[in-house]
Structure 1
Amino acid sequence: MRTTDNNGGKSIDKFDNLNIEDLSAIANRNLLDLQRENPDLLVFPHSFGKYKDDVEKPHIFSLDNENLTTYNLMGFVGRNSTQLTISSRFAKDENNDYFLHYMLQKVFAINLLKFDQTPNKENIWDFLLYLLPYYLKKAYSQGIYKAYKKEEYNDTNVKGSIDVKRHLLMNIPFTGKIAYTTREHSYNNNLTQLIRHTIEYIRTHPYGSGVLTSDSELRDIVSKFIFVTNKTYNCNSRQKVITANLRPVTHPYFTEYSALQKICLKILRHEKITFGKEKDKVYGLLFDGAWLWEEYLNTILKENFIHPENKTGKHRHLLFENFQPIYPDFISKDEPKIVGDAKYIPLDRQHAYSENSEKATSIYYKTIAYMYRFSSNNGFLIFPKQDTSFFETYRIKETDGILKKIGVATPQKSDNFKEFIITMKTNEQEMRQNLMKERTPNAQHAV
């Protein structure tokens, strides 16, 4: 079965081979509960719920007696023999979801041209190979994971507990050495060994060529993990390392490593999209469209804009003098300041909302509050739009403030993915030009 994100409600009569029992086990369920009960359901980002666009719901889709309604999630989800594919609503057709492919390529810095979306293919878990570099970089941004580990020594510098049994086996007749064990904080531990085994596995994978060498930063990270694990790495101990990592890692500082651990385990255990053995379990790989859209825009705007991250606290700002953290999606690096939001919702028309409307708060008021906080007269909202670009400027009444709505065109007439990429690059350049022109000086910078 196939549909698109934010489908507005699709009649269940239009689905072939509908299995209400399997779909009902997924529909209308809290997403976090589903993930806790079904470890083979992967949703990116792991901080789902951060992106408060109007259309976002805390479940994958809704189902009633008449309609199946989707929201921001795209990808694959299934139970038993039932599988639902949720494509981007900007897809040319169900087998050519160029827009989703393109955003994934930009965000994860990978080549998706070989990614096969043909129905009934079971290669979706191979796609995890290409997600690994992204999460490896995020984890390494917190440093190499350190954990306490038992180490065995046999020398004259005793600094731990004497291992009598091992000492008698190794040091008779006595030559001055003593066998002892210590508990040390080490970079060479079960988790870094898991990462090392995953690196070695990808190197031998038929589609893994170049995945770990896409840029100098990634090559440097890979070499560091190889260096710290060289002492005890053994390719024959892979299953032992996997078993040692079945318990999820929890650490107050190394928070990004939990997602990386999960991906490594999936890769090394060669799991497929359909399982068969685990009856009634939900499985799948899903991406939050609002998150993907925001991260995609960051790849386009990062030269001129800072992209705060509310999960990591990076580039955090306060609304008041000493409390209330805020995270605008984008803040310009140069003066006069420009602040703005990424919106994965259609904004290509003027629409007035009631004063207490949550839509008005989500779409307009938050961005205007950010403008006031940063003494900025320039705000923007960027959203995806089919076929043609969109650009309008609204003046905030009786002020110098302006709010721009910019719709980035997603071409629907491209004959192939290569042509789609060329057109998108042109549209991105147009978007950047519209964003930076007609800037109104901030009050403190006005002459």
Structure 2
Amino acid sequence: MSNVYKTYDYSQIPITQLRDKDRENLSKIANFTIRNLCENNNSNLLIFSQQLDIHHDGIADSYIFTMDNQKLQTGDLLGFIGINDSQITISTRFSKNDIEDYFLHYMLQKVFHINLLDLQHSISNDRIFDFLTYMFPFYLKRALKQGLYKKYTTKNCNNINVKGTINISNHIKNNTPFTGKIAYRIKEYNCDNDLTQLIRHTIEYIRDSYMSAILQTDADTVAYVSQICNATPSYDKRALNNILIKNRNPIFHPYYTEYRILQKLCIQILCHKRLKYGVDNNRIYGLLFSGSWLWEEFIHKTILKECGFSHPQNRARKGGIYLFNKNEADINFVVSRCKRYPDYFKENFILDAKYKHLDNNRIDRNDMHQIISYMHVEKANIGGFIYPKSTMDIMVTKLGDLRGFGGVIYNIGVPIPQEKETYAMFSLEMTNIQEELKRKILDLS
């Protein structure tokens, strides 16, 4: 029977609370970076953000948790991870109790554009993989915007219109005595293939679950679901195992790039019970979110975008700032090495998102140096940090006036409700906080 330990980000579990067997199992995950685990082909472990190095903020080289002789220490990662029959659930430090984590659900709703309030909001072991279903419409839409996935498939035919290679064994089997038909194989470039069938099986699985409403969150989702169903006339519920086997290898296609994450997501949704309760030795499985990445995306989508801030995209090389004037340095050097990507900036304001504890206004020296550098290069008069906090008042703290070229640095604390009885009440309070915070940030500008 699985043993589940529940904890929070940036928290500790005394080593004495772990069973000897669990300590042995979890030591195989502990002190390994996310990059290490991903490179070791742990296909049953899904981590968001998928682009781990997108912000050069060390996410890929951070640990899910560390262990020594005294304690198990968690960090930035949220969600669920296990090996063999030992499992850990990591909630946000703002969750009300061990069952509900409204804040994590709320960030996921905003980042992945989920517009439902009547879904389950538990982060218990039995529900953790439902987060996968939350994200299905988001990645379905991203993939289908590239068009329906097409590939060559082999089709067996038996008629008089021979177009491909004659299938001698089938011809003898099906057309003896000769009836005028010819058995043959033909390769067709079509949409009814192993990958679209996998997506169709996922759609039907969700339709039969209590989360079926997720397929009707908006008009685009409804349209894309219909498009997949129309493109897969050969769908057969009994063929699921065969379809999963055919999708064991991830797709690599220069055009259909968004389908790779959708493929993995579908496999996780369809196999989640097996992932949790399988018996493969030393099998690492789970679903993890970077708290820093979620917080950064959440703040932009709910607050800063409406305040006029840009949110650079490191991996896409969009929206960054240059350290040197282009006309005063070698352009190749400037573009490749001297472009930087603040979390958010606009004409006179640079902001850096921090998910870690900043309640005491003690800023890491490297973070402080970075924000001052950005302010200097952009000639910005205002800079600062924005972070989540547990006390229920918006804190805009002036850290000080910079010497030299001047400028002011602020620390902005965003309160996260913790005593709301329902998710709807939590969402309403968060909406009010967001509106007030927008006004305060605009006043600073």
Within 5 A, what are the aligned runs for 1:209-358? 209-227=212-230, 229-272=231-274, 274-300=276-302, 301-303=304-306, 304-313=308-317, 315=319, 321=326, 322=331, 323-324=335-336, 325-332=339-346, 336=347, 338-351=349-362
Question: How much does 1:236 deviate?
Answer: 4.2
Question: How much does 1:102 deviate?
Answer: 2.0
Which residue does 2:120 correspond to in 1?
Answer: 115
Over residues 372-398 of structure 1, what are the superposed CA-to-partner deviations in whole Å (9 max), with x where a residue is unaligned?
Answer: 555544434211111132112444334
Q: Which amino acid aligns with 1:275?
A: Y
- 2:160–2:180 Cα contact (<8 Å) kept: no
- Identify unmatched segments of 5+ residues in structure 2: none
Compared CA separation, residues 230 and 278, structure 1 to 2 (3 A): closer
1:145 to 2:156 alignment: no
Which residue does 1:5 correspond to in 2?
Answer: 9
- 1:55–1:345 Cα contact (<8 Å) kept: no
- 1:78–1:284 Cα contact (<8 Å) kept: yes
- 1:152–1:182 Cα contact (<8 Å) kept: no
**Alpha-carbon distance in structure 1 between the residues aligned to 2:317 and 2:206:** 32
- 2:155–2:188 Cα contact (<8 Å) kept: yes
1:435 to 2:416 alignment: no
Over residues 83-103 of structure 1, what are the superposed CA-to-partner deviations in whole Å (9 max), with x where a residue is unaligned?
Answer: 222221222332332322222
Pairwise CA RMSD of aligned residues? 3.5
Q: Which amino acid aligns with 2:353?
A: A
Question: How much does 1:297 deviate?
Answer: 1.3
Q: 2:103 aligns with which of 84, 99, 102?
A: 99
Q: Which amino acid aligns with 2:186?
A: T
1:405 to 2:419 alignment: no
Over residues 260-289 of structure 1, what are the superposed CA-to-partner deviations in whole Å (9 max), with x where a residue is unaligned?
Answer: 111111222352563242233222222111
**Alpha-carbon distance in structure 1 between the residues aligned to 2:167 and 2:83:** 55
Which residue does 1:356 correspond to in 2?
Answer: none
- 1:90–1:410 Cα contact (<8 Å) kept: yes
- 1:124–1:273 Cα contact (<8 Å) kept: no
**Alpha-carbon distance in structure 1 between the residues aligned to 2:144 and 2:340:** 25
What SS does the corresponding residue of 2:433 show, helix, strand or coil?
helix
**Alpha-carbon distance in structure 2 between the residues aligned to 1:28 and 1:40:** 19
What SS does the corresponding residue of 1:437 show, helix, strand or coil?
helix
**Alpha-carbon distance in structure 2 between the residues aligned to 1:230 and 1:178:** 24
What SS does the corresponding residue of 1:26 show, helix, strand or coil?
coil
Compared CA separation, residues 400 and 167, structure 1 to 2 (3 A): farther
Question: How much does 1:221 deviate?
Answer: 2.8
**Alpha-carbon distance in structure 1 between the residues aligned to 2:352 and 2:144:** 28
What SS does the corresponding residue of 1:404 show, helix, strand or coil?
strand
**Alpha-carbon distance in structure 2 between the residues aligned to 1:261 and 1:143:** 15
What SS does the corresponding residue of 1:379 show, helix, strand or coil?
strand
Question: How much does 1:337 deviate?
Answer: 5.1
**Alpha-carbon distance in structure 2 between the residues aligned to 1:204 and 1:189:** 23
- Identify unmatched segments of 5+ residues in structure 1: 353-358, 440-447
- 2:53–2:59 Cα contact (<8 Å) kept: no
Q: 1:26 aligns with which of 24, 29, 33?
A: 29
1:392 to 2:403 alignment: no
- 2:35–2:60 Cα contact (<8 Å) kept: no
Which residue does 1:419 correspond to in 2?
Answer: 425
Which residue does 1:189 correspond to in 2?
Answer: 193
Over residues 188-212 of structure 1, what are the superposed CA-to-partner deviations in whole Å (9 max), with x where a residue is unaligned?
Answer: 432122112212221222x122201
- 1:198–1:268 Cα contact (<8 Å) kept: yes
Q: 2:136 aligns with which of 123, 132, 135?
A: 132
1:360 to 2:365 alignment: yes
- 1:55–1:71 Cα contact (<8 Å) kept: no
**Alpha-carbon distance in structure 1 between the residues aligned to 2:257 and 2:402:** 41
Question: How much does 1:217 deviate?
Answer: 2.7
- 1:53–1:345 Cα contact (<8 Å) kept: no
Question: TM (normalized to structure 1)?
Answer: 0.80
Question: TM (normalized to structure 2)?
Answer: 0.80
Question: How much does 1:12 deviate?
Answer: 2.2
- 1:31–1:60 Cα contact (<8 Å) kept: yes
* Aligned length, in residue pairs: 420
**Alpha-carbon distance in structure 2 between the residues aligned to 1:181 and 1:276:** 39
What SS does the corresponding residue of 1:134 show, helix, strand or coil?
helix
Question: How much does 1:409 deviate?
Answer: 0.6
**Alpha-carbon distance in structure 1 between the residues aligned to 2:361 and 2:167:** 80
Which residue does 2:94 correspond to in 1?
Answer: 90
- 2:387–2:412 Cα contact (<8 Å) kept: yes
Q: Which amino acid aligns with 2:257?
A: T
**Alpha-carbon distance in structure 2 between the residues aligned to 1:305 and 1:92:** 32
Question: How much does 1:131 deviate?
Answer: 2.0
Compared CA separation, residues 341 and 256, structure 1 to 2 (3 A): farther
Question: How much does 1:65 deviate?
Answer: 0.7
**Alpha-carbon distance in structure 2 between the residues aligned to 1:283 and 1:427:** 36
